[in-house]
Structure 1
């Protein structure tokens, strides 16, 4: 009997190693892979999981829409594209672009898959920084190998940045805060699915650095984020930073400047129709036109206070101070 159990366990282990772990989430089935932590502990990685429809075409400059179900097994064994951006360290000297507009993906890392009778682990959701114009949740910047030595499930996310993530005319047509609404949808996905990875959706800590830290603080204030996380860690950024939320009128002026440069009409309805026809790289290349000291030289498109009357999808209704 002992030999039979050993053989079955060995075959099961080899199956997981060769085929990758399979998990069923609400949208379908995922295939992941295994890594080793810093101290040699096995953990499971599920990378490039879509949590929203690609924000392209008519979904550009719009709140994200949840991803629908997929057929078959989704291969979650490679990192997703980052949201389209320039290299932060070569911003003024290079026109090379990184990433794609189709970028609303997240990664889940867990040291333990769920088992009957075993408590699920606390969850940490990482929001990367980058001045709301660069950054991503990939392993190159934010690898999981340190945290996977601990009993915690880690989630890292991508969200829209720059003009594509934060353009606003401060009205109901182009309300802004799309990148922050991406984060909200990712948190909803975590609530719905993280138990499948051995995580406890009642023990979610949201943490981030720089613009990610400011984002965490804004989630503490947003009605959309209520109940989606339970603890917060802000690192090198807060909603009280001068650049975190633009003052009244500035976002609208910058949006109209974008329209002027691209040859689009200045009124919101015609502007959004025109801007949706332009290639995504246009907006990344335009970003450098707005480096100025009015608020902060490198954070030019960020959160805005929305018109919240009778609107259930408004992220921020009041200034932090």
Structure 2
């Protein structure tokens, strides 16, 4: 998700036409932004930061952006979005402009004469299959602080952004390469808006959070930003990286067209190249019980321009990445994201809990998988069936599998690699306007509730209460501190002292109306999953390296040996 409103700064290269317009010179040509209706900001919308390749090249890396000589009017007549399922888009006819060449940025700058402003770049979420950059409104945050520029942007989604075949034309990670290209665009152009390219914080929530962590691990994005704030997900989530990209591509091709030829890589590539974008986005990606999504980032073959050539786990264990300051955490009920599925899933869980084990676990046999499933079900639900009476345990299970354990595992690997600038938190704030969990009188902070607190979403309004106003102010102060100093609570702050995470995996800050510093976060639930993942983890592999491909390679090797043996035998005879 992203920001809708920020502002443009008057700097040496800017030409102000009048009080309502501001013009700056970019490498591409002059761009005109408009005063935000609420005042104090200039907003630039839909600036092309790259060109999306088209036709049979649509899965390749982004191309250079267009250029122009006349001023480009960066106004928000419509919200440009990348191809995705139209369920939400069609609810608001006339609001969105869906197109394949969708790589645009929005820049928001305070109305100030101060230069070298800090910059934060926001990466939107949406499960890598939906969303758009201009979702979150950063206007109030920028108006309050007046010392930041905000950049939000689109990147290719779903099949368009994350089909990964390992071929020259479909290498994979087009959506992540879009993100890297945006960061390069910021480095080249943000000074024209009055921003400091050497003071960039990268922020993301949900899939954007996983993206932010992956960008920190990728050599292709190194030195393009200086601090990171991954909110409510990370690179080790079971849905953040594809386990076996070719198998996923084959499976989904059959879902689009039962007659699709998928056994041969050339035929599979031809299918995706020639299938229309409308057909590829006609159906929403289904909610999978194994906590995966169909199309997400992948580990690529080690070729020129690759975004990621080793799995996140491998990189984290090696510690082979630039260790930037990290503000890292999640809410206390992330699993509320799946509360709408509870009535259906509780019955499925009771019928076959094995189906709900995450996709990043592997087992030697069905019996072994069943044993682990029974162990997990016993840990969360005891001997009782999943029911309305233990719905909070359902929330805990979904929270841990999708978000909590992957982030806590990564945090452990961070500090073991000598990463000594990681600040861990749990956001727990609720007020009277927070809905209760069904079948209970309990309230909890939903998925990405901390993001909603400091960056106002475009279409969602949390009614203000004095408590929420106070919490919003606290979160904004913490995030602002971190963006400016790399510490959530720098020296001289009135907030409670917040040390970095130690090798003892503590402390963490509980974010509520009153900040509380605690020790290890979720120790029992974290300790439960560690041995399971150490024994059964299924790592990500490049396309063509999965179990099916390995079997084909082994059969080919055996056949080759047999043929050579037969030829040799006959020659000798």
Determine the C-alpha separation between the residues in 2 that align with 1:15 and 1:186: 27
Which is helix-richer, 1 or 2?
2
Deviations 1:185-238 (A, max 9, x none): 000000000000010000000000000000000001101101110110000011
Determine the C-alpha separation between the residues in 2 that align with 1:243 and 1:257: 16
Report if aligned partners of 1:121, 1:199 keep a CA contact under 8 Å in 2: yes
- Look up the match of 1:106: 105
Report if aligned partners of 1:112, 1:197 keep a CA contact under 8 Å in 2: no
Structure 1 segment 81-230 matched on structure 2, within 5 A: 81-86=80-85, 99-112=98-111, 118-138=114-134, 141-149=135-143, 150=145, 151-230=147-226
Structure 1 segment 253-268 matched on structure 2, within 5 A: 253-260=247-254, 261-262=256-257, 263-266=259-262, 267-268=264-265
Determine the C-alpha separation between the residues in 2 that align with 1:286 and 1:254: 16
Report if aligned partners of 2:209, 2:233 keep a CA contact under 8 Å in 1: yes
Report if aligned partners of 1:46, 1:109 keep a CA contact under 8 Å in 2: yes
Structure 2: unaligned runs, 5 residues or longer: 1-14, 91-95, 314-573
- Look up the match of 2:19: 17
Deviations 1:35-67 (A, max 9, x none): 155xxx511111000011133213311111121
The Cα of 1:68 is off from its aligned counterpart by: 3.1
Q: Please state whether the residue corresponding to 1:192 is helix, strand or coil.
A: helix
Determine the C-alpha separation between the residues in 2 that align with 1:275 and 1:246: 18
Determine the C-alpha separation between the residues in 2 that align with 1:268 and 1:29: 45
Q: Please state whether the residue corresponding to 1:81 is helix, strand or coil.
A: strand
- Look up the match of 2:341: none
Going from structure 1 to structure 2, the CA distance change for 1:90 and 1:50 (only over 3 Å counts) comes to: closer
Going from structure 1 to structure 2, the CA distance change for 1:44 and 1:98 (only over 3 Å counts) comes to: closer
Q: Does 1:66 align with 2:67?
A: no
- Look up the match of 2:276: 279
Structure 1: unaligned runs, 5 residues or longer: 1-12, 92-96
- Look up the match of 1:235: 231
The Cα of 1:112 is off from its aligned counterpart by: 4.1
Determine the C-alpha separation between the residues in 2 that align with 1:287 and 1:254: 16
Going from structure 1 to structure 2, the CA distance change for 1:264 and 1:17 (only over 3 Å counts) comes to: farther
The Cα of 1:98 is off from its aligned counterpart by: 7.3
Specify which structure has the bigger relative contact order, considering alpha-carbon pairs within 8 angstroms and separated by 6 or more residues.
Answer: 1
The size of the alignment, in residue pairs, is 288
Structure with higher Rg: it is: 2
Normalised by the size of structure 2, how large is the TM-score? Answer: 0.47
Going from structure 1 to structure 2, the CA distance change for 1:98 and 1:253 (only over 3 Å counts) comes to: farther
Determine the C-alpha separation between the residues in 2 that align with 1:88 and 1:154: 28
Q: Please state whether the residue corresponding to 1:147 is helix, strand or coil.
A: helix
Determine the C-alpha separation between the residues in 2 that align with 1:314 and 1:232: 22
Going from structure 1 to structure 2, the CA distance change for 1:126 and 1:240 (only over 3 Å counts) comes to: same
Determine the C-alpha separation between the residues in 1 that align with 2:228 and 2:88: 29
Determine the C-alpha separation between the residues in 2 that align with 1:58 and 1:194: 33
Q: Please state whether the residue corresponding to 1:285 is helix, strand or coil.
A: coil
Determine the C-alpha separation between the residues in 1 that align with 2:213 and 2:195: 23
Deviations 1:251-288 (A, max 9, x none): 21121234444455433344334433332111112553
- Look up the match of 1:47: 45
Q: Does 1:27 align with 2:19?
A: no
The Cα of 1:172 is off from its aligned counterpart by: 4.5
